[in-house]
Amino acid sequence: MSARTRTLPPPTVANPDRTLHRNAVVWFAAFFVFALWAFWPSYFSRLSDQPEVRFHTHGIAMTLWCVMLVTEAYLIRTKQHAIHRKIGNASYVLAPLLIAATINLIHYRMKGGGTLPDIGLFQLALMVNAAVAFVAIYGLAIYHRREPLLHGRYMVCTVFPLFTPVTDRLIYAHWPSLISLVPSLNGVPLVQIFGFALADLLLVGLVVWDWRAKRRVNAFAIALFIIAIYHASVLTLYRFEFWRTLADWFRGLSLS
């Protein structure tokens, strides 16, 4: 063996944060494409034929949110941090507008006299609690805005409360054989279970990926906890009288 030893460079270890930044733009773009596909028959191909302006306010706000996520992820990937921050500031306006448009549309669709059946209470929890979960995750992203690793992870997770409007429409339109696999409520198949399962599985995968890379409790685990509570609430709240009371109060508000 030679007296002169050769120092080998340390093995290259993949940077999980760089991987996240590189792939986030692809994930956001994929979600946006699926959303366009899901809503094309009922909205994007019928822009001039919507029965109420509220469908437009919600649709425009949601579209802008998806475009913002794709753009922000691209700017981070290309290290254009100054532009990223400027566009990110727009979320302080866009997020409240998105929530306001969503709640206004929910109220418009759910208001009226009479008693809601269980499926109506289920659907109200599905929509309202998705908005609550979105606010919670976005709020965590803003709280950690000066911690890029946490901020970026929470922003990724803002799409998970939005899964079921996309998955429900795609299943009914393209994979109707799946409908018979889920239970029904008042005769309506609960296809939202597929969207719930997909969101949970993806989040579990992100938790495991981040833990193996960093060996730490991470933002994905907290987001999974929030999303799991959201899903559990949708599947159970319709059974309780207090939720019916809250639903009647909400429907009676002068919001739309």
Per-residue pLDDT band at 194 (split at 50, 70, 90): very high
CB 165 within 8 A of CB 38: yes
3-state secondary structure of 206: helix
pLDDT in tens, 107-137: 999 987 778 999 999 999 999 999 999 999 9
pTM recorded for the entire structure: 0.88
Q: What pLDDT score was predicted for residue 212?
A: 81
Rounded to whole angstroms, the Cα distance separating 187 from 15 reads: 49
Q: Find the mean pLDDT for residues 204-210.
A: 90
Q: What pLDDT score was predicted for residue 2?
A: 47
Per-residue pLDDT band at 4 (split at 50, 70, 90): very low
Q: Find the mean pLDDT for residues 156-182.
A: 96
Q: Find the mean pLDDT for residues 98-112.
A: 93
The neighbour count for residue 121, using CB atoms within 10 Å, is: 23
Q: What pLDDT score was predicted for residue 144?
A: 93
Q: What pLDDT score was predicted for residue 78?
A: 86
Q: What pLDDT score was predicted for residue 20?
A: 65
Lowest mean pLDDT among 87-96, 128-137, 176-185: 87-96
Mean pLDDT of the chain: 89
Cα separations in angstroms, 193 against 26, 35, 73, 132, 219: 25, 18, 29, 19, 24
3-state secondary structure of 7: coil
Per-residue pLDDT band at 214 (split at 50, 70, 90): low
Lowest mean pLDDT among 15-29, 44-58, 87-101, 208-222: 15-29
Q: What pLDDT score was predicted for residue 15?
A: 54
